[in-house]
Structure 1
Amino acid sequence: MESMNIVFTAGVVAGAMNALAGGGSFVSLPALIAAGVPPVQANTSSTVALFPGGLASAWAYRDGLRPVGDVSLRALLVTTLCGGLVGALLLLQTSSAAFTFVLPWLLLVASVALAFGRRIGVALRARWHIHAHAVLAIQFALGIYGGYFGGAVGIMMIAMWGLLDNCDLKLLNAPRTLLVSAANVVAIVIFIVSNAVSWPETLTMLAGAVIGGYGGAHIGRRASPRIIRAVTLLATSGIMLAFFVKTYAPTLLHH
């Protein structure tokens, strides 16, 4: 019962984080592992639990859906779905030991994207431009990452799309939410068909995430964006460092 309370609370916090600034999986994934769910199954369950909130965002943005520069939304959607499929299958082939080893590095990548993704995107945009075909190749890779883990993948997409010459960054939120959901939805189908979801914890967390997402949206209208961002980065960085210590400190001490 206590573990379910932790899972539900983590769902509330993760839902609120996703509504405010992103990074909800930094809370949901560790909570599921702490509740006794094996690491790979914790990742699949976290993806399923947090998906409805992302889908709701995609629906809310539906009127703003449009091509990204010269790249059609349909091409991006198909590419992302294919990448998400590959990523989900790769995750299911990953052992718990291997996923535990690589998880801190995945969290580090997501932390850097959350902290510096927009600034990196602006810096790259000032120096580099890429062709539409290259966008699809990178989008496929991001789809794989989204299906496998997905932390901060939406920020990575916007940073990459910004390298197109005629891409208006102000109009990218709608395509971003749709394509992040696309990478997740194909992964979720694979996870469910493969019986890779721990349903009691997932449904408990999903209920919490819905509540947290609704509350987070209201908080976001009143709270300072700078404070929200600072708290989010502090929390995600702390969790990432904790996973590095937990995973690698015993090995270093042994040597």
Structure 2
Amino acid sequence: MLGAAAFAAGVLNAVAGGGSFLTLPALVFAGVPPVAANATSALAVSPGYLGSTLGFRAELRALPRRRLMRESLLAALGGIAGGLLLVFTPARLFAGIVPWLLLFATAVFAAGPLLLRWLGGPGAASQEGGPRWREPALFLVAVYGGYFNGGLGILLMALYSVAGETRLNTINALKNLNSLVLSWLSVATFVLAGAIAWREGLLMMVAATLGGYVGAHLARRLPVAWVRAAVIVIGLAMSVVFFRR
């Protein structure tokens, strides 16, 4: 079950996102405690961010190096803060939060295209490098991503759109880079805290990586609207199941 969930999550992340809607519930249903399940889920999907970031090397090279380093540092600090917040959240409290986080992430994913249309637009930035709130907002989104990965990509894309980035490839490049940094740093925090279920996590890393490879090919063939609809249905179904539990 864990291998199949991770493989499907890798496919979903490559095509439209939302893979954590499968990995987290699968780990909980397999008997992994909720906090460890969330940490292990983050580990399972983390390799996919590297390939996504490397795919946008040209766009990243075109951006100011100092700004990239500053934003990567903020993403790293936010990822560590979110990871520590998860580690120190009592298991019973986190179990009660999970269905709300799943529901929020599903809503963000479903509203993603509308968010990007409403918030985006040329000339939104008030100064070079974006408005002053851009970096504090990035830190807060990174904290959320370190704590709970669901819907992170859409939140980052919405942030960069409203902050004045007008090129979709640049937005995707920044989203992938910061997701990579905060995800790996939060996972490192989970490792140091002993919050990872290694047997399940390593199996799921391999399966998710294979799924990402297959998903990259399917992305050229499957209508994204169908995949998005499937992710939303899965997210809502998992939310209902966790609320009942």
Q: Determine if the alignment matches structure 1 residue 79 to structure 2 residue 79.
A: no
CA distance in 1, matches of 2:75, 2:114: 24
Determine if contact 1:104/1:240 at 8 Å carries over to the other structure: yes
Determine if contact 2:11/2:208 at 8 Å carries over to the other structure: yes
- The structure-2 alpha-carbon separation of the partners of 1:19 and 1:107, relative to structure 1 and needing over 3 Å to count, comes to same
The Cα of 1:121 is off from its aligned counterpart by 3.0
Q: 1:28 maps to what in 2?
A: 23
Q: 1:202 maps to what in 2?
A: 201
The Cα of 1:91 is off from its aligned counterpart by 0.3
Q: 1:19 maps to what in 2?
A: 14
Q: 2:136 maps to what in 1?
A: 137
Determine if contact 1:68/1:161 at 8 Å carries over to the other structure: no
Amino acid of the structure 2 residue aligned with 1:78: L
- The alignment-based identity, stated in percent, is 35
Q: 1:91 maps to what in 2?
A: 86
- The structure-2 alpha-carbon separation of the partners of 1:134 and 1:66, relative to structure 1 and needing over 3 Å to count, comes to farther
Q: Determine if the alignment matches structure 1 residue 101 to structure 2 residue 96.
A: yes
CA distance in 2, matches of 1:124, 1:49: 31
Deviations 1:99-125 (A, max 9, x none): 111111111221111111231232134
TM-score (norm: length of structure 1):
0.87
- The structure-2 alpha-carbon separation of the partners of 1:65 and 1:202, relative to structure 1 and needing over 3 Å to count, comes to same
- The structure-2 alpha-carbon separation of the partners of 1:95 and 1:68, relative to structure 1 and needing over 3 Å to count, comes to farther
CA distance in 1, matches of 2:27, 2:179: 22
- The structure-2 alpha-carbon separation of the partners of 1:159 and 1:67, relative to structure 1 and needing over 3 Å to count, comes to farther
Determine if contact 2:59/2:169 at 8 Å carries over to the other structure: no
Among 26, 45, 48, the residue aligned to 2:43:
48
The alignment's C-alpha RMSD in Å is: 2.2
**Larger radius of gyration, structure 1 or 2?**
1
Amino acid of the structure 2 residue aligned with 1:160: L
Determine if contact 1:80/1:182 at 8 Å carries over to the other structure: yes
Q: 1:159 maps to what in 2?
A: 158
- The structure-2 alpha-carbon separation of the partners of 1:200 and 1:66, relative to structure 1 and needing over 3 Å to count, comes to same
The Cα of 1:167 is off from its aligned counterpart by 3.6
Q: 2:111 maps to what in 1?
A: 116
Among 9, 12, 35, the residue aligned to 2:4:
9
Q: 1:59 maps to what in 2?
A: 54
Amino acid of the structure 2 residue aligned with 1:16: V
Q: Determine if the alignment matches structure 1 residue 237 to structure 2 residue 236.
A: yes
Q: Determine if the alignment matches structure 1 residue 147 to structure 2 residue 142.
A: no
Determine if contact 2:124/2:164 at 8 Å carries over to the other structure: no
Q: 2:225 maps to what in 1?
A: 226
- The structure-2 alpha-carbon separation of the partners of 1:183 and 1:239, relative to structure 1 and needing over 3 Å to count, comes to same
Deviations 1:74-112 (A, max 9, x none): 221111111111100000001111111111111122111
Gaps of at least 5 residues in structure 1 are: 1-5, 247-255
1:132 match: secondary structure:
coil
Determine if contact 1:132/1:164 at 8 Å carries over to the other structure: yes
The Cα of 1:46 is off from its aligned counterpart by 0.7
TM-score (norm: length of structure 2):
0.91
Determine if contact 2:53/2:173 at 8 Å carries over to the other structure: yes
CA distance in 2, matches of 1:165, 1:101: 37
CA distance in 2, matches of 1:128, 1:91: 34
- The structure-2 alpha-carbon separation of the partners of 1:166 and 1:198, relative to structure 1 and needing over 3 Å to count, comes to closer
